[in-house]
Amino acid sequence: MKQIWAPWRAEYIQAEKDSVCIFCTAPQKAPEEGLVLHKGNTSIVMLNKYPYNSGHVLIAPLRHVARLEDLTDDEGADMWKLTRHSTSSLLKVFKADGFNIGLNLGKAAGAGIEEHIHLHVVPRWSGDMNFMPVLGDVKVISEHLHQTLSKLAPFFEHV
């Protein structure tokens, strides 16, 4: 049997699970700690701490709200504007060939944090599925989150 060494995952496995919402606490943290790319008047853009691919960003309203229909028009418009800005920035920085963009609304739909609505923007590349996820059920993330944060941060300075 082959082993894959990923000691950084121990931090997640061994950590006490917070009952606080990451989308509510991240705006108060330093960008490096909260992985925050942008905090606006109504929404936040942050890196996913456990990404599907390098450059995986999350967009959420600042207000703690769970349901799509409970978003204000301003929150919905701002989230969509930030989605467009995120895809444009990821194209420039990571040369993405495409994107998966979506919402997981409710636990049955796969929402990991169902009490605070958030949108995923996941960059994709032609041929980015290799033998690791197919045979090993393992996804390789090729870049550290802080490196991704420093590459994307300049694109969010004047949103």
List the catalytic residues: 118
The DSSP call for residue 157 is T
**Could you give the 3-state DSSP secondary structure of residue 87?**
helix
Residue with tokens 């041929």: 127
Residue with tokens 């929150």: 75
Q: Side-chain half-sphere of 152: how many Cα atoms within 13 Å? A: 30
> Two tokens at 53?
């691919």
Residue with tokens 């989308």: 23
